[in-house]
Structure formats: C-alpha cells, structure tokens
Amino acid sequence: MAKEFNVPPVVFPSGGNPGSGPQQRRVPTAPFQPPRPANPNLPFMSFDIGSAPPPTSFSAPVFGATGVGIGSSFEDEPPLLEELGINTRQIWRKTISILNPFRANANLHEDADLSGPFIFLIAFGLFQLLAGKIHFGVILGWVTFASFFLYVVFNMLAGRNGNLDLYRCLSLLGYCMLPVVIFSAFSLFIPQGGVVAYSMAAVFVLWSTRVCTCLLVELASCGDEHRGLIAYACFLIYTLFSLLVIF
Amino acid sequence: MYDSLGTQSGVPRPSLNPQPNPFGNAFYGAGSGLIRGGLGAYGEKILGSSSEYVQSNISRYFSDPQYYFQVNDQYVRNKLKVVLFPFLHRGHWTRITEPVGGRLSYKPPIYDINAPDLYIPLMAFGTYVVLSGFLMGLLGRFSPEALSLQFTWGLGCWFGQVLVLKLMLYTLGSGEAPLLDMVAYGGYAFTGVCVNILGRIIWSFSYYFLMTWTALSMGVFLVKTMKRVLFAEVRSHASSMHNYCLLLLALAQIPLFIFLGWIKA
C-alpha cells in the first residue's frame, strides 16, 4: 500500500529562447542555465559565473532547446582541425623534410605553426617519462627560454635585415627538435653514460643544429657571414636539451 | 657600410632605450661619454649644447645594443685569442675612433679588434651553463633545478663583476663609459671559465693550473682595457691611485674564477 505524498507540482520554466538573450542574462531563473548569448553560433561558449542565480527552483538544463535553436548552423561549421588551424598533411610534410639533414626545404616552413612542435615536445616528455624522469615543465620552460634567446641573438646579428619573429623562431626550434626526440627514444635502449650515448648525442645534436641553421638562414634573410655564429647558438640550445636525455 | 640606425623596422628593441627616438641625433655607437672621451684623449673636452647634454644623460645608461652585435667570424676568432692570451697581443689596445655626423665615435667591432662586443659574452655564458651541466652529469649530480641554480649563480657573478667595474670607473674617473661596455668586459671572463670547466671535464687535476692561468690572463686583459678606458675619460692621470686599483682588479679575478667554477649541485 502506497502512502499518498503531497508532491508539489514541478514547474519547468520556458527559458530556452535564444532571442531573449539580454533579458535572460539579467533574470536567470534556474541554476546551471547559461545565459544565452546573442550570437547563436557559439552555443556553449559563454558561462557567466557572476550572474549565478539563487537556487529558487530546480529545472533540467535546457540545452536541448538550445541545440534546436541553433541547429541550422551546426552543419555549416568547418571541421575541427581546420578551425583550429592544424593542417596535418603540412605537419607531416614538414616532419619528413627535417629527416634529411643535408638538404633543407625552406618553402615548407614559410608559414609557422605550433602544433607540430607541440606534438614533438609532448612526445619528448613521454619518452623522458618512460626513462623515469618527469620533465614536462622543464621542457616547456627551456623551449620558451631558448626560443627567446635565439630570437634576440638572431635579430641582433642580422641587424636591419632580420625579419625573424618569435612565433616563427619557436616553430623552427620545435620542428628541429625532432632529432633530439628520436635520440630520447633510442636512449631508452642503450646503457646510460656509455660511450654509445655520447656519440649518439653528438650525431643527433649536430643533425638538429645543421637543419636549424639552414632553415634559419634561408627563411629569415640573415646573410651567410653570420652562419657560423647562428650555428653556435643553435648548437648550444640543442646540447642543452640533449643533457636532459643523457643524464 | 656602418651608418646611422635611424630606421630599424625589423629589429626588436629589448626595451633598453627609454626615449622614443634615440637614434635620430648624432649620438650612436658607444655613447656620448666615450665620444667626448675620445676627443679628450687628443685634446680638451668639447661640451655640447644643453639638449645634447640632456640626451647624453639618458643614453649614458644604455647605449645602442646593435653596435655590440656587429661581428663576424674573423672578429670572434681574433677576439677570443686576445681574451685568452692577452700577453701575446702585439698590436695596440686603443679603440679606433671615426668622425661620423660631426662627432667622434668608436668603430664597430667588425673593424676594430679592441672594441667590446656582446656576442662573445652571451655565447660564453651559454657555453658555461651547458658545460657546467655536462660536468654535473659526469659527477652524477645533474638535475634541471641544479642547472637553473648554476645559471642564476653565473648571472649573479656577472652582475657583481659589472658592479665592480662600474664602481671603479666612478671612483677613478667620471663614470661616463656606457654600461653595456662594462657588461661586455665583465662577460669576457666567462670564456676563461669555460676553458676551466672543459679542462676539468677532460682531466680533473688540470683545473687548478688552468684556473690560475685563465684568471691571470683575464686580469691582464682587464687591466689593459680599463687603463685605456680610464685614460680616455680622465685628463689628469693620477697614476699611483689608478695603478693600485687596476692591480686590485686583476687580483680580484682569482676569487671570481673560483666562484664561477663552483658547481652548485
């Protein structure tokens, strides 16, 4: 036998109207109900924490209505990777071009992007993690500092002709980090501190340096007389990262 | 040909010059103090107009950093030889002046082996950090935190060296030499320290011999350059006081090199 409980009627407020945006923002009626922005293309982007309403009544979030409300423009949105600016084919081509240390294809690296370097640095951190060292933050900080250092040195040496900007510097530095990432992968299988480790480090660091210098000199018009000076700066940076791998 | 750097669009200014257009006037190169000092070496000082005097007060603190990076391979090689083996330098130690825009200024480092540059100190500092990291790893005490500690320690020692040089200039002369010149002279010590650490990596007992030798070389180098700087600034050459201070500076290099060679791991 069921006792009859006196349940008050639950009222669902009809707050799913995207047209009444400002009014919705000022008089929110339910918790967890984001104020509807005037722009229907960004359904979930604005969450105004400051205007959190007092919990007067509980209602289900009305996202369904939102989806229905802007459903017409959902199929028009570009694919996610394209919207984020990640061109995977270009990244792959750039990566392949780094693998050849004797000929640098500078045209591919004309437009800089940071997603390739990001993947390489995460992979570097993962290989270090496999070796038992947690270096994610260290890698991030050192890459930032090294790119700033290279940016200052390159532009000071190049004088009036230097047109390297920090974004492109960071992109080039990150792409040319690929040999060091490969070295960190190989170093998992060789004994630590042996002669093999040092010689491999030398080979991979020289590879990185050569590719980085070639790309820098071709992309940002520097002039060949500073090639050795730029190469030494790059060499210092990649040796620093190889120290993380060896020791 | 090296000319006035009035229109620099692509070069980043590391926010060293506080005034909006520092290169529109006739002052460039190594700063106005040495411009006047260069004349002072040959005759009496020429005092400019009041606006030039005001502008010289601002450009006294940070002269144009672009001047210090006009280097090439050959300059770097020869300068390293001069810094590490100063007693073998056969030429003179004075900087070459040239008249540009009606004022005398010093020639950039490409044309003058005695001009200070900032490329070598910067690279030597980076090499110092990397080499000390390598040494730490060989001793089994490497960690990224220790390396950043070493970096800060090196930077602090560089700052101390620049402070000593600047104080000496203030007490003995007019202290008008550009700050970046002192930063450059102070940074040349790192080349000697790199040689020390390299020697220590290869064979640990060579460290003591190398350290005394490089410290003394750096002492000789600093004495010879600071003597020229002081002579260019002060007309009345109070010789005994100057010489004692220079001797003290040379001897102070030994504790500096001991400090810098101390691996903080």
Q: Mean pLDDT over all residues of chain B?
A: 79
Q: Which residues of chain A neighbour B7 with C-beta distances below 8 Å?
A: 160
Looking at chain A, which residue has its C-alpha nearest residue B4? A160
Task: Tell me which residue in A149, A156, A228 faces B69 most closely, judged by beta carbons.
Answer: A156
B6-52 pLDDT per residue, tens: 344 444 444 444 444 444 444 444 444 555 445 444 443 444 444 45
Least confident of A3-7, B46-50, B173-177, B235-239: B46-50
- As a whole number of angstroms, the distance between CA B242 and CA B237 comes to 8
- Extract the tokens encoding A79: 């694919």
Question: Across the interface, do A226 and B147 touch by the CB < 8 Å criterion?
Answer: no
Mutate: best of B110, B118, B139, B147, partner A, most A CBs <10 A: B147
Q: Identify the burial level of A236 via C-beta atoms within 10 angstroms of its C-beta, where 0-12 means exposed, 13-18 middle and 19 or more buried.
A: buried
Question: Across the interface, do B136 and A246 touch by the CB < 8 Å criterion?
Answer: no
Put simply, whether A202 touches B (Cβ < 8 Å) is no
Q: For residue A198, what pLDDT is reported?
A: 93
* Domain range summary for chain B, segments of one domain joined by +: 1-61, 65-261
- As a whole number of angstroms, the distance between CA A101 and CA B156 comes to 39
- What 3-state class would DSSP assign to B160? helix
Task: Tell me which residue in A162, A225, A247 faces B11 most closely, judged by beta carbons.
Answer: A162
Q: Say what the ipTM of the complex is.
A: 0.74
Q: Which residues of chain A neighbour B137 with C-beta distances below 8 Å?
A: 243, 246-247
B211-260 pLDDT per residue, tens: 999 999 999 999 999 888 887 776 666 678 888 888 999 999 999 999 99
Q: Where residue A62 falls among pLDDT bands split at 50, 70, 90?
A: very low
Is residue A64 predicted with pLDDT exceeding 50?
Answer: no
Looking at chain A, which residue has its C-alpha nearest residue B126? A236
Q: For residue B210, what pLDDT is reported?
A: 93
Counting residues of chain A whose pLDDT is more than 90, the rounded percentage is 39
Q: Mean pLDDT over all residues of chain A?
A: 79
How many angstroms from the chain centroid is the CA of residue B32?
A: 17
In angstroms, the separation between the Cα of residue B14 and the nearest Cα of chain A is 8
In order of A25, A114, A121, A208, B162, the CA distances from A172 in angstroms are 46, 9, 13, 11, 34
Q: For residue A24, what pLDDT is reported?
A: 45
Question: Across the interface, do B144 and A159 touch by the CB < 8 Å criterion?
Answer: no
- What 3-state class would DSSP assign to A88? helix
Tell me the pairing of strands B103-106 and B97-100.
Answer: antiparallel
Residue of B94, B110, B111 whose CA lies nearest to B34: B94
- Extract the tokens encoding A40: 């229907």
Q: For residue A180, what pLDDT is reported?
A: 95
Is residue A233 predicted with pLDDT exceeding 90?
Answer: yes
Give the residue-averaged pLDDT of B55-82: 79
Q: For residue A238, what pLDDT is reported?
A: 96
Residue of A34, A33, A16, A35 whose CA lies nearest to A25: A35
- Extract the tokens encoding A35: 């104020």
- As a whole number of angstroms, the distance between CA B136 and CA B143 comes to 8
Of A1-5, A77-81, B231-235, which has the strongest mean pLDDT? A77-81
- As a whole number of angstroms, the distance between CA B162 and CA B119 comes to 16
A88-122 pLDDT per residue, tens: 888 999 999 888 888 878 888 888 889 999 999 99
Q: Which residues of chain A neighbour B80 with C-beta distances below 8 Å?
A: none
Least confident of A4-18, A55-69, A93-107, B113-127: A55-69
- What 3-state class would DSSP assign to A53? coil
Task: Tell me which residue in B66, B118, B144 faces A159 most closely, judged by beta carbons.
Answer: B66
Is residue A50 predicted with pLDDT exceeding 80?
Answer: no
Counting one residue from chain A and one from chain B, the pairs whose CB atoms sit within 8 A come to 71
In angstroms, the separation between the Cα of residue A225 and the nearest Cα of chain B is 7
Task: Tell me which residue in A135, A157, A161 faces B69 most closely, judged by beta carbons.
Answer: A157
Does the pTM exceed 0.90?
Answer: no
Task: Tell me which residue in B66, B73, B126 faces A236 most closely, judged by beta carbons.
Answer: B126
A154-199 pLDDT per residue, tens: 988 887 777 888 999 999 999 999 999 999 999 999 988 788 999 9
Neighbouring residues of B17: CB distance < 8 A, sequence distance ≥ 6: B59, B62, B64
Q: For residue B243, what pLDDT is reported?
A: 86
Pick the more confident residue, B204 or A233.
Answer: A233
Contact B195, B213 (CB under 8 A): no
Give the residue-averaged pLDDT of B146-164: 94
- Region of A85 (left: φ > 0; alpha: ψ -120 to 50; beta: rest) is left
Neighbouring residues of B40: CB distance < 8 A, sequence distance ≥ 6: B232, B233, B235
How many angstroms from the chain centroid is the CA of residue A130?
A: 22
Q: For residue B55, what pLDDT is reported?
A: 52
